[in-house]
């Protein structure tokens, strides 16, 4: 992970997908695809996939709530790894690493993150599990 890693409570979640790494990478790094798998509002996603580039999206909740999310890319290893921040109000930004690996005939995508509290870790773990499920459903379709 990056030197900007939050200290505290780490977690890792992985999902194997019946799609090539290139497909999973493309879905994760293409703004137009985020609404289909991330639950982002149409037209709300902007992604500048390069070290130092920014990203933003508005996540839609089950009752129509809107959650604006922002952050920056710290590291980009094309087709293999992203390290990005997610801004957290009134706290240091969380740092998340997403790794894309060949796994049999498909891709294994892993999210590693460390959060400042156990409560934040559990929320982030649930969110990451949902992100990977959505990504898998999208790239396997």
Q: What is the C-alpha to C-alpha distance for residues 93 and 53, in angstroms, rounded to an integer?
A: 15
And the tokens for 99?
Answer: 């790794």
H-helix or E-strand spanning residue 48: none
Contact 79/100 with Cβ under 8 angstroms?
A: yes
The conformational region for residue 130 under phi > 0 = left, psi -120 to 50 = alpha, else beta, is alpha
Q: Which tens digits make up the pLDDT trace of 48-105?
A: 999 999 999 999 988 989 989 999 999 999 999 999 998 877 777 889 999 999 999 9
């Amino acid at each position: 992970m990056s030197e900007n890693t939050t200290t505290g409570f780490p977690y890792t979640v992985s999902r194997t997908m019946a799609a090539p790494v290139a497909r999973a990478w493309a879905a994760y790094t293409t703004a137009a695809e985020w609404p289909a798998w991330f639950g982002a509002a149409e037209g709300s996603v902007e992604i500048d996939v390069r070290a130092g580039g920014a990203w933003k999206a508005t996540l839609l909740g089950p009752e129509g709530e809107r959650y604006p999310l922002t952050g920056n890319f710290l590291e980009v290893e094309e087709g293999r790894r992203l390290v990005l921040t997610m801004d957290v109000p009134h706290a240091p930004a969380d740092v998340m690493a997403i790794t894309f690996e060949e796994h049999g005939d498909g891709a294994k995508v892993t999210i590693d993150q460390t959060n400042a509290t156990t409560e934040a870790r559990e929320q982030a773990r649930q969110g990451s599990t949902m992100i990977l499920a959505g990504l898998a459903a999208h790239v396997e379709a």
